[in-house]
Chain A
């Protein structure tokens, strides 16, 4: 197999359970994905799980603005850490750092430190379209991503199941997207499960 086909492919692969919920079971290059969740209710885990399949298939990813990424959690989610760059504290330069990385990696997960400005968001989304990469913007309902995204995952509810330890978290996620066959509506997924992975409920 010539790897060039990989580079030119118009999509990036998604793992379970997301592949069943979005068109072509993949992320379209040039698109922006918004993950929105109230603080502490699984948004970060969800966003990180979107990186796993692409990273294991040889694509590079970057994580910008996540102060203290749980690297073990990423391993459990199936992310290949050999191809992940982290910019934990970009301070004022989160948008510039994300833009730098969009030129070099296939997926950039960004968590703006505060409410993202309209202009910065627009510039990043333009860059993503131009470079054929994928931007995953992680936000909270009280500081939402200021522009409509191509695809969005909104966590509306999170519930832990625990025995003698934390076993699994059931997330109710509202999936929506522009055009195409996004299976809109609410889905319950497990992120993470007992092995730390994401799966369908």
Chain B
């Protein structure tokens, strides 16, 4: 079950007659959606988001919690109660108790809860007469016995107590999403279909829905989007991140000193392929410490005995970078093969790697 961060914001849980609660709910939702696009308002005052993606992005659960806390404090003016657990039911309980339930202990956490958390007084009273005081004890009842003794609502709650269902019926306010959409619709009437800078249009929502389907089919790493960052080679400057990761600033494309000029290769290998360069006498071509080639490359040999003649090359363009305080010496080489293909290769730690194909 997915680990969720539940965010309880007390002042937003009671709706004010002036409509401000709904507007503030939307404002906070938009702010939290910047941290994680899957943030949901479960009902007034309760927000939830899957922790895994943002945690990887921000570098740990604590950093995400800090960012969320700060956002709520800035926008609402109060400290939220935060809780982390698996599934909506447990996550909400964790939030009310301000607990982070460590992975692997979710069952124990759920089973230790008093029966009152199920929100059914009749059920709690009956169980107490039977000597059952915790969800764990209730969960241990045979499903058939629960069915004969209680009504069908209790059966669903039994499944929640057993951990078979991750949320209780009625835990979500199903009308809220529509009300928020309506509110947003009125405000965004003239900005529909723009989709920039956080404003969303119908096209964006359709694309999101399709992306969700693909993610369900292939897993979180299956569908990705591009993020651009600074760097010298095209293989450094672009990266693909799982769809749904917090957005990065893709407009930041200021040229870096020593950046390789356009055109960039249409294929940029995420995992560079090792290769060798040979000269006319079939000797390996190496990059010297001064950034020059030991001899003219005339052929490229891939790890398989696949040999291709080089008809033109340019470079090497050496790059010495300080990367996490260790020197990284690299040089790019462009080449055109007799077959017509053009490649971008890089020399690093005395080996050559294929990093791009101009295909």
Q: Known interface pairs A60-B203, A69-B268, A72-B234. Does A41 touch B359 (Cβ–Cβ under 8 Å)?
A: yes
**Shortest CB distance A71–B (Å):** 3
Are B226 and A86 in contact, with the CB atoms below 8 A?
yes
Q: How far is the CA of A6 from the CA of B268 in the complex (A)?
A: 33
Q: Which of A59, A81, A93, A159 contacts B225 (CB 8 A)?
A: A81
Q: How far is the CA of A83 from the CA of B194 in the complex (A)?
A: 11
Give the segment of B26-34, B129-137, B160-168, B215-223 that binds chain A: B215-223
**Shortest CB distance A84–B (Å):** 7
Q: Which of A38, A104, A160, A162 contacts B207 (CB 8 A)?
A: A104
Residues of A within 8 A of B213 (CB): 100, 103-104
Q: How far is the CA of A70 from the CA of B262 in the complex (A)?
A: 12
Are B210 and A100 in contact, with the CB atoms below 8 A?
yes
Whether B211 is near chain A, meaning CB under 8 Å from some CB there, is yes
Residues of B within 8 A of A100 (CB): 210, 213-214, 217
Residues of A within 8 A of B250 (CB): 81-82
**Shortest CB distance B252–A (Å):** 12
Are A97 and B218 in contact, with the CB atoms below 8 A?
yes
Residues of B within 8 A of A164 (CB): 314
Q: Which of A41, A87, A192 contacts B263 (CB 8 A)?
A: A192
Are B238 and A70 in contact, with the CB atoms below 8 A?
yes
Whether A181 is near chain B, meaning CB under 8 Å from some CB there, is no
Q: How far is the CA of A183 from the CA of B206 in the complex (A)?
A: 34
Chain B, interface residues (CB within 8 Å), range: 35 or more
Residues of A within 8 A of B192 (CB): 3-4
**Shortest CB distance B272–A (Å):** 10
Chain A minimum-CB-distance residue to B311: A160
Whether A187 is near chain B, meaning CB under 8 Å from some CB there, is no
Are B193 and A166 in contact, with the CB atoms below 8 A?
no
Whether A40 is near chain B, meaning CB under 8 Å from some CB there, is yes
Find residues 208-267 in chain B having any chain A CB closer than 8 Å to their own CB.
208-211, 213-214, 217-218, 222-226, 228, 234, 237-240, 243, 250, 253, 261-267
Nearest 3 A/B pairs, CB to CB: A104-B210, A3-B193, A71-B238
5 contacts between A and B (CB under 8 A): A40-B340, A45-B359, A58-B201, A162-B336, A192-B262
Which residues on B are within 8 Å of A, measured CB to CB?
A: 192-196, 201-204, 206-211, 213-214, 217-218, 222-226, 228, 234, 237-240, 243, 250, 253, 261-270, 312, 314-315, 334, 336, 339-342, 356-359
